[in-house]
Structure 1
């Protein structure tokens, strides 16, 4: 091998490493999105790579991301995710950053429905007392 070929070989391996990292990131995105949607029943809103996120020290194979997602109840969460091709998806530091807005009329309506159900049950109990 000639000395002139060494820089080209070095550049070739750098390009291969970059392509591998980009492919792994794409697979990670699909894996995290699938976990949020299929396992948690939520919706992934944002995902960004966090190379120095929690648990990075000493980690060789996993990549760490910061994500924002909505759960099935509508609450918005911020969490850190550790994932790799073989290890699955692990959420850490999962905190709710925004609760879903509940319309006042909806709350009032559900309270009225509950009051009516309790009144009906009370009438049933009183009827049972009168009979027995």
Structure 2
């Protein structure tokens, strides 16, 4: 098996090997990115390989993914991450795209249960009144 058949077999073998390496790296990347968001109290919702994402030009080792995640406050984010085994996870182009409906509903319920906050001027007036009451008590007892 010399000649074109062996070269073609070698070529197919190399492509197959590169594909296997890429799939393994992608699985490791997904878990690394998931752990990164989890460590920040956030939840990774979607992750897709984006080889020509922001910062791809000149990049040799890091792989770029488009991501969607939910932060601790229920805000939905979209952005990109760059990652590799050696460089960790770096988030770029992160921006809020909306609020999770469940989190939004729970925040509005909490807001209804909390008392309305005083304005600064109302609080100053309340504190002045209380200070005057305490001074009057001190003068009365002293």
Q: Which residue of 2 aligns with 1:72?
A: 72
1:130 corresponds to which residue? 136
Aligned Cα root-mean-square deviation (Å): 2.3
Give the Å deviation of 1:31: 0.5
Unaligned ranges ≥5, structure 2: none
TM value normalised by structure 2: 0.78
Moved over 6 A (4+): none
1:83 aligns with 2:89: no
Distance (Å, rounded) in 1 between the aligned partners of 2:90 and 2:82: 5
Provide Cα deviations, 1:74-120, integer angstroms capped at 9, x if missing partner. Answer: 111101100011111000110011135232x53233234x45xx6xx
Q: Choose 1 or 2 for highest CA Rg.
A: 2
Q: Normalization by structure 1: what TM-score?
A: 0.83
1:131 is displaced (CA, Å) by 2.6
Q: How far is the alpha carbon of 1:127 from its aligned partner?
A: 4.2
Q: How far apart, CA to CA, are the structure 1 residues paired with 2:46 and 2:20? A: 23
Cα distance between partner residues in 2 of 1:44 and 1:91: 12
- 2:35 aligns with 34
* Equivalenced residues, count: 126
